[in-house]
Each structure stands twice: as structure tokens, then as C-alpha cells.
Amino acid sequence: MPRSIATYPISRLLGTLAVIGISALIIGAYMIPNTYVVRYAMPEKATWWIAPSMLAGKWGYFDQESVTIADTYWPTGRRALQALMDQQSDIAYAAGPPITTLAYRNQPVLVLAQTMSSRSIVHLLPNVEHKDDWYRYPIGLARGTISEFYLIAHLTKLGKLDLYKNGELTLIDRPHVEANFLTLMQNTTQSIVLFEPFASVVTMAGQENRKFTETTDPAVYKVSCFILTTPAMWKAHREAILRALAAIRRSSKEMMADPPRAWKDVRPLLAYSDKSEVWGKRDWQNVDFRLVTNKSIIRQNLMQDANIGVQAGIYKREPNLEPVLSIVDEVDAYLKERGL
């Protein structure tokens, strides 16, 4: 005669329920798609530098790729890249100079793709009183970043690179934008080198700041920014990283196809969003947000910074970029195979 459940010993009943529960979990695991977590180190939270990643999240492309982005933010791309090297992230966002510096030091870093480029992103903001001889006074900037490399390129055009090479410039290293601005307000520096959108934010911040004038030389320097990883992170998280790049490629394509929608959707995500309409119309439209996986283009853009570093004496020899570019073709093939 069948026994009722009430007559089973409690230990046997609990054991049976445990087996049923574990089986359900196993079945459920096969039914629910895997979620990949990618730790992403980025500079300067909530600026349009990272618009493709912002919109990939907002538009659901990371979800479609079953990717969760765990992002952290650092004062500069140099610091974001250091977080990657310290294994605090799986990928990082950085401009060219920190990458060529790591290549020069033979550090294990790998470029995955170029994610942004612009010629209007760096500005020299000197005090009006020293507009013509600004280089004779203290200059605030983030050393080892696009700010310094732009300054070198600008000095080269002026025929004054020897001032840099001979240590005759007074360079005040301030990685934070706010700290650079503060040195200017306190007259610790007479000029600062900033990148957009921060140059516009500073000049439009209020009446008190209108004594500063913009001087920019877009022809001498092109800013290119990249997504990177390391051999160890690539080996451990290759599939997750590729899926994240696929989401960003989808986002960048949609941005190009419908710029007004992209601008409308990204504005609420930006710092200084109340002022973004003013400076965004000038600078946003001059940015190329394509996710580039063409090795030749990436090499060419990195060589700009490599050459500047050699010219200024920062590098004693040309950095070897080939190890840094060794997986770009693999990323390109993956995206093409998926029709992206």
C-alpha cells in the first residue's frame, strides 16, 4: 500500500526535496543564458568620450550580448590603463600616449579597437595677458597624457620644442580637471592644457572665467582613444570581451546612422548636462565615434604619439607596436563574422 508523505521520516523527506531542488537549479541553469561580466576602467565619468559605451547600455545592446559592464572611473586614461595592468579591470579606455609609453617599456598591453578620435578635443587656455608668451609661465596639465603630447606638437610647430627638451618649461602635473582649473584661478599656473568637453565647461562656467581665452591648434594633433586588455585578461575573458565589443560596435553604428537621436539620448547621461547643449553642438559633431578594428589605421594613429615621444626625448627609441596590435585582426575577424 502506498505510504502518505506524512509517514516518511523527516530526514528522507528533506533529502528527496534537496535532490529535486538541485535538479531544478541545474535545469534552470541550462535554460537561462550565461551572463558575462566585463570590468571596464574608464577615464572621467559621464563625458561624451565614452558615449558609445553609454548608449550600448541605454539601447540594450549589452543585454542582447548577455554582457554586464562593471565600470570604474579614473582621473585620466593613464590611470585607467594602470588599473588594467594591476588586474583591477578586464578592459580599459585610454588615449594614445599611455599606450605608446607601455609599448616603449615592453609592458603586456593589447589594443582591441579604436573607439573615438577628434582634432578639436585639446585646447590651450592661456591667460589673456600672456597670450603670446604663455610658454614662459607655469602650465598646468596631466603629464604623460594627450595634454602633454598636444603641447609638444604645438611647441614643435612654433619652433620652440627646445624649451621642452631643455627643461625650460614649468609644467605643473595635475591629473584632475578640477585641480588644473583651480591652479589657474589661484594663479599657480598662467595657462592649462585641457581636452574637451572640459575646456568648454571651463570657459562657459561663468563671468568670472571670461578672462581666459582659448587658443587651439587642431592641425598639429589628433586624439585617438582605444579599448585595451592584457594577455592574461584576454585569455581568461575572451568571449566576454568580444561580446562587449560587439555591443559597442552596434551602438557606434547606430550613432552614425542617427546622430540627433544619439545626442538626445546621451545628453541626460553626461556630467554638466545642463550646459551640454551649448558646448555639445560645437564639439560633439567633430568627433568620430566609429569602433575601428583596422590594424593599419590603429597603427598609424598610435605612431603619431610614438613619433612625438621620440621627437621630445620622452622615448630613446621608437616603441614597438606590433605586440600591442597582435590581436586586432582577431577582433576584426570576429566582428565581421557576426556581420558587424
Average pLDDT over residues 170-179: 82
Does residue 316 register a pLDDT over 80? yes
**For residue 165, which phi and psi values (nearest 5 degrees)?**
-65, -30
pLDDT band at 17 (very low <50, low <70, confident <90, very high): very low
pLDDT at 158: 93
pLDDT at 276: 57
Distance in angstroms (rounded) separating the CA atoms of residues 234 and 228 = 10
Does residue 312 register a pLDDT over 90? yes
Distance in angstroms (rounded) separating the CA atoms of residues 154 and 140 = 15
pLDDT at 285: 72
Higher pLDDT, 331 or 182: 331
pLDDT, tens only, 191-238 = 888 776 665 665 555 445 455 666 777 789 999 999 999 999 999 999
Specify the range with the lowest mean pLDDT, choosing from 22-31, 151-160, 190-199, 243-252.
22-31
Does residue 247 register a pLDDT over 50? yes
* Strand-pair partners of 191: 126, 139
Q: Tell me the whole-structure pTM to 2 decimals.
A: 0.84
pLDDT at 33: 53
Upstream peptide bond of 108 is cis (omega within 30 degrees of 0):
no
Average pLDDT over residues 9-15: 45
* Strand-pair partners of 193: 124
Average pLDDT over residues 267-294: 74
pLDDT band at 259 (very low <50, low <70, confident <90, very high): confident
Q: What is the β-pairing status of strands 110-118 and 223-229?
A: antiparallel
Measured from the Cβ of residue 281, the count of other Cβ atoms closer than 10 Å reads 10
pLDDT at 170: 94
Strands (E), the chain: 36-43, 67-74, 91-95, 110-118, 122-126, 139-141, 171-173, 191-195, 223-229, 287-288
pLDDT at 229: 98
Q: What is the β-pairing status of strands 91-95 and 223-229?
A: antiparallel
Chain CA centroid to CA 183, Å: 25
Measured from the Cβ of residue 144, the count of other Cβ atoms closer than 10 Å reads 18
Specify the range with the lowest mean pLDDT, choosing from 43-52, 190-199, 283-292.
190-199
Q: Among 326, 103, 131, which Cα is nearest to 211's?
A: 131
Q: Which domains does the chain have, with CATH numbers?
A: 36-118+222-337 (3.40.190.10), 122-220 (3.40.190.10)
Average pLDDT over residues 52-65: 96
pLDDT at 213: 67
pLDDT at 46: 62
**Residue 202 burial (C-beta neighbours within 10 Å; 0-12, 13-18, 19+):** buried
pLDDT at 83: 93
